């Protein structure tokens, strides 16, 4: 018996989303329910989309960039199929899974935020909610209704939210600040209004500017100066709402010598000028006595 015939597919669905929906929505062109045989095994160099596989029972595995990851009941396996990937069932206890192949805006970036390339197995998921979302997605893919594409998008988004929540609970989204960066980060947090340069921050950390910048970006996903700018903007937001200080005063308080550069930077980060932000956030808010 072939490996394919050994597998059982209680549900096997195909969909062909319209280009308009593909542009703005998460879409699911393929989905199904698999009760795998002992020899279930898939290996590809690349394939469209991202596969989200919910292990219902039994066990499976995946191999990404030479690293083997085990999949247990209740786990969610995320594979960015644009990269080489391999997965299958444990022969002694073959898995049963729900799965979807999702496509859509920014899925690659979201997978990077969830570190799925290094850790493709997401544990601690709200299994009951995830299982319900999968079964409802199957129903939506068979429904010929105008609102179905939007509802498919919403269900995929909810699955992503469950994945983020699981990663958050395990601490995977909040890795500890590397010890060598702590003094520099604490200095920027406490003295955000002071003049800081990569050279001065790297000196505090006791390393070269190049090595400091590389390590900082790996830890925080941004450069030290961009991190500091966002910290200053956050401090400015609080002052715009909680005080009557002028924009010029607030600019100086958070470390900007030039009010106009501050306003430009503020709009870059928020989409609003400081005055617009203050008006929006304080509209209808009672004045404190």
Do residues 125 and 238 share a domain? no
In the chain, the number of structural domains is: 2
Q: Where residue 189 sits, what CATH number does that domain have?
A: 1.10.10.60
CA distance 249 to 240: 10
Do residues 131 and 194 share a domain? no
Does residue 289 register a pLDDT over 50? no
Residue 175 pLDDT:
57
CA distance 152 to 101: 12
CA nearest neighbour of 190 among 140, 228, 148: 228
Tell me whether residue 34 is in a domain.
Answer: yes
Q: E-assigned strands of the chain? A: 8-14, 27-35, 41-44, 50-57, 60-64, 67-71, 76-80, 85-89, 96-103, 121-122
**Structural domain ending residue among the three candidates 170, 188, 213:** 170
Asked if residue 69 lies in contact with residue 49, where contact means CB atoms within 8 angstroms, the answer is: no
Phi, then psi, of 247 in degrees rounded to 5: -60, -40
Residue 38 pLDDT:
92
The structure's pTM equals 0.68
Write out the residue range of the structural domain in which residue 127 sits. Answer: 3-170
Terminal CA-to-CA distance of the chain, rounded, Å? 81
Residue 1 pLDDT:
37
Q: How confident is the model at residue 65 (pLDDT cuts 50, 70, 90)?
A: confident
CA distance 40 to 34: 10
Over residues 185-244, the pLDDT tens digits come to 999 999 999 999 999 999 999 999 999 999 998 888 889 999 999 999 999 999 999 999
CA distance 90 to 58: 8
The residues near 189 (Cβ < 8 Å, ≥ 6 apart) are 231
Do residues 133 and 154 share a domain? yes
**Structural domain ending residue among the three candidates 138, 170, 202:** 170
Bridge partner list, 44: 85
Do residues 203 and 139 share a domain? no
Tell me whether residue 260 is in a domain.
Answer: yes
Asked if residue 51 lies in contact with residue 159, where contact means CB atoms within 8 angstroms, the answer is: no
Over residues 128-180, the pLDDT tens digits come to 999 999 999 999 999 878 899 999 999 999 999 999 999 888 766 655 677 88
Residue, of 263 and 282, whose pLDDT is higher: 263
Do residues 113 and 193 share a domain? no
Does residue 2 register a pLDDT over 80? no
**Structural domain ending residue among the three candidates 170, 193, 208:** 170
Q: How confident is the model at residue 286 (pLDDT cuts 50, 70, 90)?
A: very low
Do residues 90 and 229 share a domain? no
Interval 116-133 mean pLDDT: 94
Among 4-8, 216-220, 276-280, name the one with the lowest average pLDDT.
4-8
Asked if residue 82 lies in contact with residue 143, where contact means CB atoms within 8 angstroms, the answer is: no
């Amino acid at each position: 018996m072939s490996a394919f015939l050994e597998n059982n597919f209680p549900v096997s669905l195909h969909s062909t989303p319209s280009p308009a929906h593909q542009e703005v929505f998460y879409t699911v062109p393929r989905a199904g329910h698999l009760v795998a045989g002992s020899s279930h095994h898939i290996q590809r160099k690349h394939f469209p989309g991202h596969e989200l596989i919910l292990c219902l029972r039994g066990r499976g595995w995946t191999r990404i960039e030479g690293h083997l990851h085990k999949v247990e009941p209740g786990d969610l396996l995320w594979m960015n199929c644009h990269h080489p990937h391999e997965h299958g069932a444990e022969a002694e206890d073959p898995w049963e899974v729900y799965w979807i192949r999702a496509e859509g805006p920014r899925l690659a970036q979201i997978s990077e935020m969830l570190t799925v390339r290094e850790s493709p197995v997401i544990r601690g998921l709200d299994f009951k909610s995830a299982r319900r979302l999968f079964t409802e997605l199957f129903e939506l893919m068979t429904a010929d209704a105008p609102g179905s594409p939007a509802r498919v998008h919403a269900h995929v988004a909810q699955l992503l939210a469950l994945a983020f929540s699981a990663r958050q609970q395990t601490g995977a989204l909040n890795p500890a600040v590397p010890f060598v960066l702590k003094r520099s980060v604490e200095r920027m947090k406490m003295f955000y209004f002071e003049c800081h340069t990569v050279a001065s921050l790297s000196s505090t950390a006791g390393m070269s500017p190049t090595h400091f910048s590389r390590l900082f970006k790996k830890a925080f996903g941004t450069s030290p100066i961009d991190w500091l700018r966002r910290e200053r903007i956050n401090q400015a937001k609080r002052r715009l709402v909680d005080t009557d200080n002028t924009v010029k005063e607030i600019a100086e308080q958070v470390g900007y010598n030039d009010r106009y550069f501050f306003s430009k930077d503020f709009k870059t980060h928020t989409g609003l000028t400081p005055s617009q932000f203050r008006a929006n956030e304080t509209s209808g808010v009672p004045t404190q006595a």
